[in-house]
Structure 1
Amino acid sequence: MTTITKLNQWLQAGLITPAQHANILSFEAERRQNANGWLYSFMILGAVIIGLGVISLIAANWAHIADSTKLGVDFALLSVLAGGIFWQYPQRRHGVWFEVLLVSFMLLCLASIGLISQIFHISGQWYHALLFWAAITFLLSLFARSLFTRFFWVTLLLQGLVWSLVDFTTPDIWQQWKTLPAVLLLAPLLSATLYYATFPVKTLRGFSTSLYFWFQITAMIALAMIDIARSGGEMTEYQLAWFVPAYMTAGLLALGILLHREYRWLNRLLLLGALGLLLLYFHPDWLFSGQSRYSLFGSQAQATVSFWQADDIRAPLLTLAILFLYALHSGNSGRQHTFNLVTFLIGLRFVILYFQAMGGLAATGVGLIVSGSLIIGMTWLWYKSRDRLRAWTTGLQT
C-alpha cells in the first residue's frame, strides 16, 4: 500500500485533518526530491548541454539567418517550453521533467534578452541584463522545487544586483580595478540581507539555503582579500563613495538582524559587532594608514610606526575578532557545521600569523620542526576542544 493511499484512508477515517494531509504530501514530495537530487542535476545538465549544442549550430550559420527567423524560432521555442511547463504542472509539479522544462525556459529567457539586444542594437551591461532577467523570471522561480533551480536563479540575481549597485555609484567600473573591494564587501552583505528578507514570507523561504551559501562563500573571500590587502599596506587611496551601496545594505542588514525573531539578544549583539568590525576593516582610512610592517620583531618595520600601529598586526587581529564573534553566534545558534568551519579558519589564521612573524626562523631546520609541531598541536587542540567550545557557546545567555 502506497503512502498516498494510506494518507487518503487516514483522512477519510478522520485521523488527520485536510491541512495535515496536504502538509504530509508536501513533505514527502520534498523528501523524495532531495533523495533524487543527483537525478535532477544530471537531467538539467543534459538540457543545458543540448541547449549549448543548438546555440553552436545556430552560431555557425548566424550571419545567414534573417532576424525575423531568429525571433520567430526563439518565441516558438519559448511557447513550446511554456506549454510543456503548463502541462507538467498540475499533477507532476514535483517531477523531474517539470524542473528540466523550467530551467530550460529560464535559460531561453536569458538567451532571448541577448538575442533581442543584438538584433535591435540595444546597448547595456551584462549585469543589467541579469537583473532584468531575474525580475521577469522571479514569479516562475517560485514554482521551482529543485535546489539547483533556485540556486541558479539566486546566483544570477546576486551577480546582477551587486555589479549594478556598484556601477550606480561608480561609472566605468571596469576601468577602475580598485573598486573590486567595494564589490567584495557588498556581495556578502547583500546575500545576508536577502537571506533575512526570505523569513517573513513563506513562499520565499526556498531561496534561503542558496542565499546563505553565497553569504558564507563571499564573506570568506571578502575577509581573506581585505586581510591580504591591509597586511600589505594597500587600499590607502580608495574613495568612500565606492562603498556607499555596501553601507546602505549594511543598514538594512542590521535591521534584519534586530528584527529576526529566532535570535536572542546575544546573537544580535554578536552579529552586529562582527558587521561593525567588517565595515571598519573596509573603510579607506579610519583604522589603517598604509604603514606596513612585515615582521613582528621590527626588522623590517618603519621606525615611526609603533607595534600596534602596524597594518600587518591590526589586520590579523581584526580578522580573528570577526571570526571569533561569528563563531560564537554559530555555536549559540546550533549551526554545527558553520561553527566547525569558522573555528578551523581561526586556527588557520593563527598558523599564517605565526609564519608571518617567524618567517626567518621557519626557514631553518629547527624552525621547521617547531612549526610542524605547532600545526599538529593546534590541530589536535582544535579537534579535542571543539565540542566543549560549541557546548559552551550554545549555553550562552544574555
Structure 2
Amino acid sequence: MVDPNLSEYVKTSLTQGKPKEEIYKELLGQGWTIEVIQESFNSIETEQEKEDTSKKTIYIIVNSGVVLVGAGIFSFIAANWLVMTKPTKMVIILISMIISYGAGWYLKEKSELQKTGEALILLGTIIYGAGIFLVAQMFNIRANWPDGFILWMIGVIAVAFVVELYQLFYLAILLGIIALIGHPFLIFTSFEYNSFLLTSSFLL
C-alpha cells in the first residue's frame, strides 16, 4: 500500500519542479526503498491520468452543452424573427453576447468553474458570428457572405487575446478557411466586378 505521507511529499516535490532523480536520492537517503518510491510515483501518475481524462470529458460535455444552448437560442430567434422589431432583435443579440462574455469571463477568472467559463466565452463568439449575419440580413447590407466570416474571425482572434483563451484560435482558423474557400468561388462565379470582394480577399 502506498504511504500517503510519501505520496504527498512526492507530489509537493514535483510541483516545486524537482527532477525525479533528485527526489529519489532524497527519499533513499531517508531510508525509503526503491520499490516503495516507485509505487508512489506510479500512484501519482495514475491519479493524474484519471484527472486528465475527467477534465477532457467535462470539457467535451460542457462545450457540447454550449453548442446545444446556442442552437436553442438561435432556433427561438429564427422562429420569432419575422414578428420582432429591429430594436428588439438588436437588443436580444447584444444582451445574449454580453451575458455570455461577462459570465464566461467571471467564471474563468474568479471561480473554479474555468471550463464552464471558457465554454460560455465560446458561446459568446458564436452569438457574435451569428449576429453579424443577422444584422446584415436585418438592414439589407450588400456584402458577400465570406466577408462575414472574415469579420467573425477577426472578432474571435481579438477575444482570444483579451481573455487569454487561445483555444479560440482553432475556431478562427476554421472561419478563415471557410472565407478563404468562399472568396475565390465568388470571384470566379460572379459576372460583375466587385471591388469590395477583391479588396477583402487580401485580408486573408
TM range (shorter): 0.5 to 0.7
| Structure 1 residue 71 displacement after superposition | 0.5
Provide the residue aligned with 2:12 in structure 1. Answer: 6
State TM-score, norm by structure 2.
0.61
Equivalent residues in 2 for 1:89-168, closer than 5 Å: 89-91=108-110, 95-142=114-161, 143-144=164-165, 149-164=168-183, 166=184
2:165 maps to amino acid: A
Structure 2 CA distance for partners of 1:85 and 1:50, relative to 1, 3 Å: closer
Residue of structure 1 in register with 2:35 after alignment: none
Q: Secondary structure at the match of 2:187?
A: coil
3-state secondary structure, aligned to 2:141: coil
Q: Which blocks of at least 5 consecutive residues in structure 1 are unaligned?
A: 16-28, 176-244, 250-398
CA distance in 1, matches of 2:52, 2:189: 41
- SS of residue matched to 2:82: helix
Deviations 1:244-293 (A, max 9, x none): x9xxx9xxxxxxxxxxxxxxxxxxxxxxxxxxxxxxxxxxxxxxxxxxxx
Q: State whether residues 33 and 94 of structure 1, in contact with CA within 8 Å, keep that contact through their aligned partners in structure 2.
A: no
2:73 to 33, 54, 71: 54
Paired residues of 2:149 and 2:179 also in contact (CA < 8 A)? yes
Decide whether aligned partners of structure 1 residues 141 and 174 sit closer, same or farther in structure 2, where only a CA change above 3 A counts.
farther
Q: How does 1:1-40 map to 2 (within 5 A)?
A: 6=12, 10=16, 36-40=55-59
Does 2:190 align with 1:171?
Answer: no
Asked if the contact 1:109/1:133 (under 8 Å) is kept, the reply is: yes
1:31-72 deviations in Å (ceiling 9; x for gaps):
966763232122111211122122222222211111101101
2:62 maps to a residue whose letter is M
Q: Supply the distance in 2 between the matched residues of 1:85 and 1:50 (Cα, whole angstroms).
A: 14
Residues 117-148 of structure 1 deviation map (CA, whole Å, 9 limit, x = unaligned): 11211122221111111012202224225x5x
Bigger shift: 55-64 or 31-40?
A: 31-40
Task: Extract structure 1 runs of 4+ deviating beyond 4 A.
Answer: 7-11, 31-35, 91-94
Indicate if the aligned counterparts of 2:98 and 2:124 stay in contact, CA closer than 8 A: no
Name the structure 2 match of 1:63.
82
Q: Give CA-to-partner distance per residue, 1:181-208, whole Å, 9 cap, x none.
A: xxxxxxxxxxxxxxxxxxxxxxxxxxxx
Residue 106 of structure 2, aligned match among 87, 95, 118: 87
User: Measured at CA, do residues 88 and 117 of structure 1 come closer, stay the same or move farther in structure 2, by a change above 3 Å?
Assistant: same
Greater relative contact order structure (CA < 8 Å, 6+ sep): 2
Q: How far, CA to CA, are the matches of 1:126 and 1:48 in structure 2? A: 22
CA distance in 2, matches of 1:50, 1:61: 17
**Distance verdict in 2 for CA 1:72–1:173, change over 3 Å:** same
SS at match of 2:151: helix
Distance 1:124 1:7, change over 3 A: farther
Unaligned runs of 5+ in 2: 23-47, 192-200
Alpha-carbon contact 2:108-2:116 (below 8 Å) kept: no
**SS at 2:96 equivalent:** helix
TM superposition score normalised by structure 1: 0.33
SS at match of 1:64: coil
Supply the distance in 2 between the matched residues of 1:52 and 1:90 (Cα, whole angstroms).
26
Matches within 5 A, 1:165-204: 166=184, 171-173=187-189
SS at match of 1:163: helix
Note the 1:285-304 alignment, pairs <5 A. none
Let me know the Cα RMSD of the aligned residues. 3.6
Matches of 2:127 and 2:108, distance apart in 1: 19
Say if 1:7 and 1:162 are closer, same or farther in 2 by CA, change over 3 A: farther
